A and B are shown apart, each in its own frame.
Chain A
Amino acid sequence: MSDAKIRLSLTVNGEPVDVLVDDYKTLLEVVREDLQLAGTKHGCELGECGACAVLVDGTPMLSCLVLAAEIGGRHVTTVEGLARDGRLHPLQEEFADRGAAQCGYCTPGILVTAKALLDHEPTPSRQRIREALSGNLCRCTGYHQIIEAVEAAARTLAGPDGPDRPAGPDGPDGPAS
């Protein structure tokens, strides 16, 4: 094992980051260990399960297969970067409301993959959603509630209220009634 370190400058969730990391590390390891963004998961570290997906310049990539050294200067988005200004992304709202996250372990990778889909195709068909998520395994849900949540988020994003949809409840049941 090499002890060499490299200096890595990139943008993570909209913020510039400058870190010194071991040169052999994957983007997954840098995100989880050096940047302490533990929301991104690992399920196989061989590119088989999709749990480690992050967005690099808006495109989903399996961070376990990417050398961190390769992504200097790029924009990386993790699950921690989906919520903005204290508001969850519509995908997050719908996933939480519609049972799309059971154990939640595959959820971060699926959320960012779905975000990339909706960013490029605001009104995907159900088949397109299934195709876009086919590299992300989920062992809990059977996928249906995930797909429905993506569809619902697409409707929200496209609707008259669009991205300015009122922030969802922070609590499990909404604000105190």
Chain B
Amino acid sequence: MSLIGRPRRRVDGRAKVTGQTRFADDLVFPRMLHGKLLRSPHPHARIRGLDTSKAAARPGVHLVLTGEALPITYGILPVSHDEHALCPDVVRFVGDPVAAVIARDEATATDALDDIVVEYDMLRTFASPDDSLAYPEPRIHDYGDEGNIHKIVSLEFGDVDRAIDGADRVFEDVFFFEGNTHLPLEQHACVALKGPDGKLVLYSSTQTPHYVHRALAKALAMPAAHIRVIATPNGGGFGGKSDPFNHEIVAAKAALILDRPVKFCLTREEVFYCHRGRHPVLMRLRTGVTSDGRLTGLDLQTLLDGGAYGSYGVASTFYTGALQTVTYAIPRYRFRGCRVFTNKPPCGPKRGHGTPQARFGQEVQLDKIADALAIDPADLRLNMIAPADSLTANYLRVGTIGLAECITKVVASSGWREKHGTLPHGHGFGLACSSYLSGAGLPINWNDLPHSAVQLKLDRSGGVTAFCGATEIGQGSDDVLVACVAEILGIPPFDVRAVTGDTDLTPVDLGSYSSRVTLMMGNAAIQAAERARDLLADAVAARLEIPAARVTFADRRVFDASDPSRGVTFQEAVCIAEAKVGAIGTTGSYTPPKSPARFKGGGVGPSPTYSYTAAVVEVHVDPDTGWIAVPRVWIAHDIGRALNPTLARGQVEGGVYMGLGEALMEEQAFRRLPAKLSHALVHKFPSILEYKSPTSLDMPEILTEFVEHPDPAGPFGAKEVGQGPLLPIMPAVANAVFDAVGVRIDEVPITPDKILRALAAGASGKPARVGPDAFPEIAWPDALKVTPPWEGGDGRASNPTGAPTGRAVDAGVEAKAALRALRT
């Protein structure tokens, strides 16, 4: 192959280094107005009165909108359309918008916000999951599983209690993963306008133009065909621009009313409050282990602090429990997850979506297990890897598994065998692993439609235009699109133009989330390009009077493989084909394979294939100050095939970087204002200065290695790389800290004060540990019981309504027997 697998300048590289990439806030239109949102200063309150007359009368103000103008709810998931663009009656977190001002400039709009008078009746503030579990009333929302519990799920795959109780050793641990946020450098921005044809156009820094399109159609009660959403290149996404946002809907409404372009650009503080980031998760893991270090069963409970709205939360809840069995072979598994509403900015998907939290818990617990059993943590894991092309206990079909090679690589490159457990006090090595989806197997809006589609237009100039709804958020999706097409057609990438993320021009791709774009768009692009290639090959074969199978595409030529001198230029081939069959345009589509899971809740977790990662982190911990330095990270990622190794490496290093931020410093945390003020629950540090993130001086050396065994599900064998490499970093840091100073920090971020507290506890004879003490009692519903494949299950629940079964079908199977069944 001439392109795939070779390091190459990305197709949008020149635009980015010359400052010509046009982000949403760079767009300027004649007569453009500017909007600002008035946001609630109270975490939970009922709006008693709202007076906008003074703001409306201010010179330069063109429009003031309140909730009455936008009464229709929307949301990303069909099961939680719980957001209003402007709150009509109740505000649910500090930052919930209640009114919007559209004015001649940003300053006027901002000033006019102060003219709006809102009277609130305070409601109880739910500041933590404990509050939400303790008090079902008042309900933050009038939907959800009960009280202030948004979602509660319970799934059991085999008789877990018996498998754990029958194990040689049982390990029980509680962990906490603090929330953190995406912090994209670009603040969310959008411009809405009514086009010359009278139709609505929205430019927005969104990762998901298709879902914004749907949300606008619903919230504005307009035909979707009269709405065009254009995703501008995102100045970083990381999941934070995946929901439809209130400012987008307000901008659209205002533009329609005023018939003038309306721009919103959020301030940095607003971005912190928009959030949709990592859920704080408390988790409890109970794990049965044989004396030689094999898992017999895992019982996982997770409690998610969801914040004030649904967002992706139902999916996030399932994701805290979905992929444990993909990373390691677990014969029997129970997952119980509970997401509560609180009066904080809504949580949602951040890089890794729901999986990093429980991965942290499991990887740290495995380190404890290895320590207790005196087994090398790398060997422990090497003995737990599931067979390739197998089903997991929860009916996820895994394809290629490169985890063993990943572990072997980082063990070798880091000198793990010599370093772990042997270094002087204060120096440590930690190891952890992970797996991740290469795209969600089911769409958000369940239907049978393709998840991604690509259209090609072949021009008489020899140029090719590739149209796809995928969204460039910095990860290089335009480059993947162009490379796949150019590779198949044997032309340079510079001859291919990518037109992406425009609901008028491009066929639907569901968006840049769940690490789905390379695999799904790539497969669609290959199909479209192969169809175009076949059209051209037929036409050229007829011209050359050779069989079409002999026609080859390379170096911008279309020629006879048996006699390369006989051929035409690519441009001539296009013309020959167009003369023969008419205009040359092709399409390609991709729909993931159906999941074998047939139980409720089985829709979260399936993927066409999974990536795997192993990482070793070296730390230096100063026992006097608790300061943690990370000098080196070794990471190996099972990517199937790196389409463009330069970009793939950048994704890995970016994941390591973001993981280190989560491990060591990043916190989306909240505090109460003093009672003499409002006592409101506010963000502790909604600014970049105080929300710490790693700088160039904080970054360790990173040795990145790839395991490349092309996966049949991926385009040219590629699997994801955008999210998985983040996941092992946080637990590897925690495990390295233990190796360095012998303390367990069972929560992130791992900060110097926690190190010192744990050291002090250890010195005074208490457990040398900092972390949560207990997991609350939760009234879990009866589990849906699904028999694992190796115990005769068919993917269906034996009690589809969740009713308790009198006796589990596999109740007599001993733990070790279950393990044997899995292994055979």
0/1 interface trace, chain A 118-141, chain B, CB 8 Å (1 if under): 000000000001110111111111
B26 beta carbon closer than 8 Å to chain A: yes
Contact across chains for B185 and A46 when beta carbons are under 8 A apart:
no
- Note all chain A residues with C-beta closer than 8 A to B182: 139
Which of B25, B111, B184, B492 neighbours the largest number of chain A CB atoms within 10 Å of its CB?
A: B492
B residues within 8 A CB of A169? 9
- Does B678 have its Cβ within 8 Å of any Cβ on chain A? no
Contact B649 A48 (CB under 8 A): no
Interface residues in B690-723 (C-beta closer than 8 Å to A): 693, 695-697, 699, 702
A31 to chain B, nearest CB (A): 11
Q: Is the CB of A38 within 8 A of B236?
A: no
CB-nearest residue of chain B to A109? B185
B577 to chain A, nearest CB (A): 21
* B16 in contact with A142 (CB, 8 Å): no
**Residues A103 and B268 in contact, CB atoms below 8 Å apart:** no
Flag if A38 contacts B22 (CB, 8 Å). yes
Q: Mark B584-615, 1 if CB is under 8 A from A, else 0.
A: 00000000000000000000000000000000
Contact B474 A102 (CB under 8 A): yes
A172 near B9 with CB under 8 A, answer yes
What residue of chain B has the Cβ atom nearest to residue A49's Cβ? B688
Q: Which of A41, A83, A141, A145 contacts B235 (CB 8 A)?
A: A41
Residues of A within 8 A of B221 (CB): none
Chain B CB within 8 A of A26 CB: no
Q: Is the CB of A141 within 8 A of B654?
A: yes
Instruction: Quote the shortest CB–CB distance from B14 to chain A (angstroms).
Output: 6
Residues of A within 8 A of B482 (CB): 172
A99–B688 touching, CB < 8 Å? no
Given A44-B688, A172-B10, A173-B494: A88 touches B17 (CB 8 Å cut-off): yes
Min CB–CB distance B205 → chain A (angstroms): 10
Provided the pairs A103-B235, A172-B493 are in contact, do residues A137 and B21 lie with their beta carbons within 8 angstroms?
no
Q: Pick the contact of B13 from A41, A91, A172 — CB < 8 Å? A: A172
B555 contacts A177, C-beta separation under 8 Å? yes
B13 touches A1 (CB 8 A): no
Find the residue from B16, B186, B556, B658 having the highest chain A CB count within 10 A.
B16
What is the bound-complex CA distance between A133 and B655, given in angstroms?
A: 20
Q: Quick one: given A103-B234, A142-B654, are A172 and B8 in contact (CB under 8 Å)?
A: yes
Task: Indicate if the CB atoms of A1 and B650 lie closer than 8 Å.
Answer: no
Shortest beta-carbon distance from A154 to chain B in Å: 16
Chain A nearest CB, measured from B7 CB (Å): 8
Most buried by B among A49, A134, A135: A49
Contacts of B824 in A (CB 8 A): none
**Interface positions of B from 672 to 696, Cβ below 8 Å from A:** 687-689, 693, 695-696
Question: Of residues 121 to 176 in A, which have CB atoms within 8 Å of B's CB atoms?
Answer: 129-131, 133-147, 169-174, 176
Query: In the complex, what residues of B have CB within 8 A of residue A142's CB?
Result: 650, 653-658, 699, 702
Within 8 A of A (CB), among B11-40: 11-23, 25-26, 28
Establish whether residues A104 and B235, one from each chain, have CB atoms under 8 Å apart when the complex forms: yes
The closest CB in chain B to the CB of A98 belongs to B646
Residues in chain B near residue A172, CB distance under 8 A: 8-14, 479, 482, 493-494
Given A43-B185, A43-B268, A103-B185, also A139-B699 (CB < 8 A): no
B17 near A111 (CB under 8 angstroms)?
Answer: yes
A46-B13 in contact (CB<8A): no
**Which positions 71-105 of chain A face chain B at CB distance < 8 Å?**
78-80, 82-83, 88, 91-93, 95-99, 101-105
Whether a CB of chain A sits under 8 angstroms from the CB of B567 is: no
Q: Does B453 contact A (CB under 8 A)?
A: no
Given contacts A43-B268, A45-B267, A144-B699, contact A101 B111 (CB under 8 A): no
What is the CA–CA distance of A136 and B492 in the complex, to the nearest angstrom? 34
What are the 9 A-B residue pairs with the smallest beta carbon separation, nearest first? A39-B19, A103-B474, A105-B235, A104-B16, A171-B494, A142-B657, A96-B13, A142-B653, A79-B19
- What would 29 A/B residue contacts be, using CB atoms closer than 8 Å? A1-B108, A38-B19, A39-B19, A39-B20, A44-B688, A46-B689, A80-B18, A92-B17, A96-B9, A99-B10, A102-B476, A103-B185, A104-B235, A107-B19, A129-B696, A134-B697, A138-B185, A139-B182, A139-B236, A139-B654, A139-B657, A139-B693, A141-B657, A142-B655, A142-B699, A147-B696, A172-B10, A173-B493, A174-B494
